């Protein structure tokens, strides 16, 4: 039996149309994706609601998966409706309600030249109970380390796609931030402005305005980001989308990350490591404590994903329907 400490309640995974026991290993170590990160993936969550388990913004996630696959020039064995059906079946097969769902398209076993000319594209889907990433800090807020290395630029690769290989930069930076004593990393873009976290979009609040940056700032078009902009407006806050300078970040009243994995998490302390010559400098965000606006947005987001706010039920796909 495989250790499932970090995959609680996972019992089966779906691979190319069939369910396999979690402990069954089905992939050859020479699969192309394993060597070059030639994969595209999604991170999706389902939540318990009064009408059973519901997946948050499932069609949008699947659209983005298919978009990422097109960027990776993959020929897909399954389309949108089949992927949606397979995701629902994976949640049911594992008897999960609140869970994290990971569909992954990858170039599989066939050849190991960089061009995967004999490597078929395959799909795997897994689901397990994963509590919020950085969750233990969700109320108190997290500290971030601004990386010296800049985010891959949108002129170099399409950063709207979730391409596996790009996540090497996220992994290295996540490790470096923790080595520097912080909870999470933040990237500047090549222009020197704030881009995003390794797996999160970033917002600031200044004088009551809730602001995030544009897609041309080398960030992923986060589905939580889009949802939070709408939720914040609905709560009556002014919102803005525009370039975000480091100075704006340092002088913000509040700041927070958004993402499927983290949901909405306050950022309360910044360590700037972006200029190794200048050394590390620390800045509290606002009072250095979780602010009122992020608290309200976080609590509204939690209600929305659990189907407690009628007008946002449009974002839920009920697993048993
Ligand atoms: C680099 C990056 N930015 C932002 C996000 C947040 O995106 P979403 O809200 O769609 O999960 C993610 C997570 O998928 C990510 O990997």
Tokens 């097109």, residue located = 70
Phi and psi torsions of 146, nearest 5°: -80, 120
Q: Which tens digits make up the pLDDT trace of 107-165? A: 999 999 999 999 999 999 999 998 878 878 888 999 999 999 999 999 999 999 999 99
Report the C-alpha gap between 261 and 176 in whole angstroms: 20
Tokens 């209600």, residue located = 303
Residue 134: what pLDDT? 83
Report the C-alpha gap between 28 and 119 in whole angstroms: 12
The percentage of the chain sitting over the pLDDT mark of 70, rounded to a whole number, equals 100
The domains of the chain, with CATH numbers, are 12-128 (3.30.470.10), 135-305 (3.20.10.10)
Cβ of 260 below 6 Å from ligand 1: yes
Model confidence at 257, pLDDT cuts 50, 70, 90, reads very high
Model confidence at 68, pLDDT cuts 50, 70, 90, reads very high
Q: Which of 134, 222, 225 maximizes ligand 1 atoms within 8 Å of its Cβ, making it the mutation to test the pocket?
A: 222
Please state the atom number of ligand 1 nearest to the C-alpha of residue 260.
11
* pLDDT reading at 173 higher than 90: yes
Q: Which residues contact 270 (CB under 8 A, 6 or more apart)?
A: 143, 144, 146, 186, 249, 250, 282, 283, 284, 285
Q: Which tens digits make up the pLDDT trace of 10-55? A: 999 999 999 999 999 999 999 999 999 999 999 999 999 999 999 9
* pLDDT reading at 100 higher than 90: yes
Higher-confidence residue: 299 or 131?
Answer: 299
Q: Which tens digits make up the pLDDT trace of 176-195? A: 999 999 999 999 999 999 99
Q: Which of 43, 104, 160, 162 maximizes ligand 1 atoms within 8 Å of its Cβ, making it the mutation to test the pocket?
A: 43
Cβ of 174 below 6 Å from ligand 1: no
Mean pLDDT of the chain: 97
Q: Are strands 209-212 and 238-241 parallel, antiparallel or unpaired?
A: parallel
Q: Is 296 considered catalytic here?
A: no
Residue 131: what pLDDT? 85
Calculate mean pLDDT across residues 189-207.
98
Cβ of 225 below 6 Å from ligand 1: yes
Calculate mean pLDDT across residues 206-228.
97
Catalytic residue among 162, 211, 233, 246: 162
Cβ of 272 below 6 Å from ligand 1: no
Please state the atom number of ligand 1 nearest to the C-alpha of residue 225.
9
Cβ of 298 below 6 Å from ligand 1: no
């Amino acid at each position: 039996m495989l250790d499932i400490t970090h995959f609680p309640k996972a019992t089966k995974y779906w691979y190319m149309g069939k369910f396999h026991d979690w402990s069954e290993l089905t992939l050859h170590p020479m699969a192309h994706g394993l060597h070059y990160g030639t994969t595209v993936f999604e991170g999706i969550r389902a939540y318990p609601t009064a009408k059973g388990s519901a997946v948050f913004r499932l069609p949008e996630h699947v659209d983005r998966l298919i978009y990422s696959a097109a960027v990776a020039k993959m020929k897909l064995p399954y389309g949108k409706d089949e992927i949606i059906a397979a995701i629902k079946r994976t949640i049911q097969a594992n008897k999960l309600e609140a869970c994290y769902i990971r569909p992954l398209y990858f170039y599989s076993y066939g050849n190991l030249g960089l061009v995967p000319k004999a490597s078929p594209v395959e799909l795997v889907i897994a689901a397990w109970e994963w509590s919020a990433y950085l969750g233990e800090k969700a109320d108190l807020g997290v500290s971030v380390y601004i990386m010296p290395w800049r985010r891959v630029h949108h002129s170099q690769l399409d950063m709207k796609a979730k391409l596996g290989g790009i996540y090497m930069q996220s992994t290295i930076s996540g490790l470096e931030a923790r080595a520097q004593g912080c909870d999470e990393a933040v990237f500047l873009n090549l222009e020197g402005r704030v881009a995003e976290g390794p797996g999160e979009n970033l917002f600031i609040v200044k004088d009551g305005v809730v602001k995030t940056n544009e897609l041309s700032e080398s960030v992923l078009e986060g589905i939580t980001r889009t949802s939070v902009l709408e939720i914040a407006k609905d709560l009556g806050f002014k919102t803005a989308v525009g370039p975000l300078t480091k100075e704006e970040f340092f002088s913000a009243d509040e700041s927070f990350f958004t993402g499927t994995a983290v949901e909405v998490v306050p950022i309360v302390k910044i360590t700037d490591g972006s200029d190794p010559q200048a050394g590390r400098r620390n800045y509290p965000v606002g009072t250095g404590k979780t602010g009122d606006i992020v608290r309200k947005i976080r609590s509204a987001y939690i209600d929305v994903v659990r189907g407690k706010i009628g007008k946002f039920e449009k974002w839920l796909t009920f697993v048993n329907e």
